Structures are given as structure tokens and as C-alpha cells.
């Protein structure tokens, strides 16, 4: 697969400036309808979570979308509290939750547990993963873990300005195809790519884009065997759970929080979410809205 002819397209965020395309029928054109609502989060239609490694510009993206000025700084781990803000797009209101920056979701620290619990049990309509384009490999570790939990994901391929400075070319379409979710190149510090990001967020939230998330291949036979055995059992008890494979892995790994959730049936709430997203996806497919 890796030997395939690669299509190299350098993405300079300015190129995607909607005003320069002049395409009024293009959905991106509506990006001018972004209303930053600051802390006004009443009556939201959708919840979006903002996840990502530390120091990838998550807070900057948060500020660019909400118009808030949460303090940003160039050092890892400076967001210590969960910040919330709102924005309105195409007459729908979004509540945006900025999660603490983490390298993984294995819940080995408080930060990771907060982020993980919100993505899993908070059931956001969209999870935006902010990714450092200059450190793609390490950042993808988190992305793959998020994709195991939910397919309602948009990747903000951030710090594209840095990537350019480091002479990195990133084929974001290839990335989107491999990951199975929308990837939007951004440079939040300079407010570039934000329109396209909002557009992608709204499409996933409204079910117009349905992801086909990449699943990690566990190449150890005995591991694979154990996971599929357990998945069967989980699906018997929770037939409609969307992320049985991930739950199985967590239980096998001895994740106390998840084991507790299985024991007291909290895991059941995940089923309703899956039912909803599947329905929305179907409707969207029928109306031919999917791009």
C-alpha cells in the first residue's frame, strides 16, 4: 500500500481563503456566517469537544472559534481547566469544550481521564482533534485512540505555518483517506483555515459527513483472538454499542473506570448515542447530502 503513487499537494492555508475562490455556491462560502458567541452557550444544538496533544495550539483554535481569549502560551500543559465557549454557524449553536492536552487516552493521569471520559461518556456530537503538523507521527497516536472511541471526528491539521517553515509537505487528502475522517489544514495563530474547520465540524455534527474511522490492527494473534471473543460477549449484553472493540481492549487492559462502567451498566448510555448517529447517517445518505 505504501508503494502507491503518492499525490503530493502542498497545502498553504491562504489558498483556501473563501473570498478568493469567489464560489458562492460552495459550502465554505457560508463560513462568513460564523458567529463567535464567547461564553454564551445557551440552547446549544451540538456539543463539540476539542482534544489534542499538549502545545498543538488547541487553545488558539478554541479562541479563534469562540472569540474568547483563553490564555494561550507556548508551553505544554498550560490548559489546566476545562474551558467552554460557544459559536453559531448556519443558524445552529455549538457548545465547544476545550479538553486538557494529552498524549494518549489510556487514563494514566487525571488529564487523560478527563479527556477520555468526556469523549466517551460526554458523547460530543463532534470531537475535533487538533494535531501538530510538524509532529504528525506522535500526534496520530492520540488520533487513532480517539478514532477507536468515535467516528464523529474532525482533524484540525494545525501549525501548517510551522510545517512550511520546516519544509514539510503534508498530503492532507491522503491523511483524510487513511484516517477515514475529514482533515482540515489550519494555522490557528493566523486565523487560517478556520472557516473550513467550522464547515467540517458542522457537516459531521449534522450527519452530512459520516466517517469511516481507521481501526488499529492488532497484529498479535493471541491479542486479536482475545479481543474478538470479548467483543462478542459485550455485544450480547450491549447490542448496539458503537465501540465494543475499544471497550474490550480497555477491559482487557484492566482499565478500572471502564470495568466499573460495565459493572453498573453505565456503558448502556453509549448505545443511544450510536443509534442516533446511525439514523442521522442514513438520512443523510438518502438525501444524497453526503459529499
Partner 1 sequence: MREGTEHILQTAEELRWKVGGDFHEKIMESIYLDATRIADRAVTRLGEKEHFDLDGFIDRLVTSRHWGFPIMFLLLMGVFWLTIVGANYPSALLSSLLLDQLHPLLKGVSAQWGVPGWIDGLLLDGGYLATAWVVSVMLPPMAIFFPLFTLLEDFGYLPRVAFNLDHIFQKAGAHGKQALSMTMGFGCNAAGVISTRIIDSPRERLIAILTNNFALCNGRWPTQILIATLFLGSMAPAYLAGLISALSVVGIALLGVLLTFLVSWALSRTVLRGELSAFTLELPPYRPPRVLQTLYTSLIDRTLVVLWRAVVFAFPAGLVLWLSANLIIGEVSLAEHLINFLDPLGVLIGLNGVILVAYLVAIPANEIVIPTVLMLTVLVTGISGVGEGAGVIFELDSTARTWEVFRAGGWTLLTGINLMLFSLIHNPCSTTIYTIYQETKSVRWTVVATLLPLGMGFVITFFVAQLWRFFSGV
In whole angstroms, what is the distance from residue 221 CA to residue 207 CA?
Answer: 36
Least CB distance to partner 1 at residue 39 (A):
14
Q: Counting contacts by CB under 8 A, is residue 184 touching partner 1?
A: no
How far from each other are the two terminal CA atoms of the chain, in whole angstroms? 25
Q: HSE (CB half, 13 Å, CA atoms) of 134? A: 13
Least CB distance to partner 1 at residue 53 (A):
9
Only one of the segments 23-31, 34-42, 249-257, 270-278 lies at the binding site for partner 1 (rule: CB under 8 A); that segment is 249-257
Contact (CB, 8 A) for 270 and 243? yes
Q: Counting contacts by CB under 8 A, is residue 251 touching partner 1?
A: yes
Pick one of 233, 272, 276, 290: the residue that binds partner 1 (CB under 8 A): 233
For the CA atoms of the chain, what is the radius of gyration?
19
Task: Classify strands 83-89 and 126-132 as parallel, antiparallel or unpaired.
Answer: unpaired
Query: 183 is written with which cell numbers?
Result: 482533515
Only one of the segments 27-35, 83-91, 226-234, 279-287 lies at the binding site for partner 1 (rule: CB under 8 A); that segment is 226-234
DSSP symbols for 200-233: HHHHHHTTSS-----------HHHHHHHHHHHHH
Q: Counting contacts by CB under 8 A, is residue 61 touching partner 1?
A: no
In the three-class reduction of DSSP (H, G, I as helix; E, B as strand; rest coil), residue 186 is classed as: coil
208/255 with CB nearer partner 1: 255
Query: 192 is written with which cell numbers?
Result: 487560517
In whole angstroms, what is the distance from residue 169 CA to residue 148 CA?
Answer: 27
Only one of the segments 26-34, 84-92, 246-254, 277-285 lies at the binding site for partner 1 (rule: CB under 8 A); that segment is 246-254
Pick one of 212, 253, 282, 290: the residue that binds partner 1 (CB under 8 A): 253
In whole angstroms, what is the distance from residue 118 CA to residue 81 CA?
Answer: 13
Q: HSE (CB half, 13 Å, CA atoms) of 231? A: 12
Query: Which of positions 197-216 make contact with partner 1 (CB under 8 A)?
Result: 214, 216
Closest to 194 in 3D by CA, of 291, 96, 66: 66
34/175 with CB nearer partner 1: 175
Query: 11 is written with which cell numbers?
Result: 497545502
Helices 110-121 and 256-263 pack at an angle, to 10 degrees, of 30
Q: Counting contacts by CB under 8 A, is residue 136 touching partner 1?
A: yes
Only one of the segments 91-99, 118-126, 136-144, 202-210 lies at the binding site for partner 1 (rule: CB under 8 A); that segment is 136-144
Pick one of 30, 82, 93, 189: the residue that binds partner 1 (CB under 8 A): 189
Q: Counting contacts by CB under 8 A, is residue 73 touching partner 1?
A: yes
Residues 99-118 as x/- pattern, contact with partner 1 by CB under 8 A = -------x--xxx-------
Interface residue list for partner 1 (CB under 8 A): 2, 6, 8, 54-55, 69, 71-78, 80-81, 106, 109-111, 134, 136-138, 140-141, 143-145, 162, 166-172, 174-175, 178-179, 189, 214, 216-220, 222-223, 225-226, 229-230, 233-234, 236-237, 248-249, 251-254, 259, 262-263, 265
Amino acid at each position: 500500500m505504501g508503494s502507491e503513487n503518492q499525490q503530493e499537494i502542498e497545502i498553504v492555508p491562504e489558498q483556501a481563503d473563501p473570498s478568493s475562490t469567489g464560489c458562492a455556491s460552495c459550502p465554505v462560502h457560508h463560513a462568513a456566517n460564523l458567529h463567535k458567541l464567547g461564553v454564551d452557550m445557551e440552547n446549544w444544538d451540538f456539543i463539540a469537544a476539542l482534544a489534542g496533544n499538549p502545545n498543538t495550539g488547541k487553545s488558539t483554535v478554541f479562541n479563534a472559534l469562540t472569540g474568547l481569549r483563553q490564555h494561550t502560551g507556548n508551553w505544554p500543559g498550560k490548559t489546566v481547566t476545562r474551558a467552554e465557549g460557544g459559536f453559531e454557524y448556519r443558524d445552529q449553536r455549538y457548545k465547544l469544550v476545550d479538553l486538557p492536552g494529552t498524549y494518549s487516552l489510556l487514563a494514566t493521569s487525571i488529564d487523560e481521564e478527563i479527556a477520555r471520559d468526556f469523549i466517551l461518556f460526554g458523547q460530543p456530537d463532534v470531537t475535533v482533534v487538533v494535531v501538530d503538523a510538524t509532529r504528525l507521527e506522535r500526534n496520530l497516536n492520540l488520533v487513532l485512540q480517539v478514532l477507536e472511541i468515535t467516528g464523529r471526528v474532525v482533524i484540525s491539521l494545525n501549525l501548517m505555518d510551522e510545517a512550511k517553515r520546516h519544509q514539510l509537505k503534508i498530503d492532507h487528502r491522503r491523511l483524510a483517506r487513511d484516517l477515514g475522517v475529514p482533515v482540515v489544514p489550519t494555522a490557528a495563530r493566523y486565523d487560517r483555515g478556520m472557516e473550513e474547520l467550522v464547515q467540517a465540524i458542522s457537516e459531521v455534527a449534522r450527519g452530512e459527513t459520516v466517517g469511516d474511522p481507521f481501526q488499529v490492527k492488532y497484529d498479535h494473534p493471541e491479542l486479536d483472538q482475545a479481543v474478538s471473543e470479548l467483543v462478542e460477549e459485550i455485544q450480547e449484553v450491549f447490542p448496539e454499542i458503537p465501540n465494543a472493540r475499544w471497550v474490550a481492549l480497555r477491559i482487557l487492559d484492566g482499565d478500572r473506570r471502564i470495568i466499573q462502567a460495565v459493572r453498573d451498566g453505565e456503558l448502556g448510555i453509549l448505545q443511544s448515542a450510536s443509534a442516533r448517529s446511525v439514523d442521522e447517517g442514513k438520512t443523510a445518505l438518502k438525501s444524497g447530502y453526503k459529499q
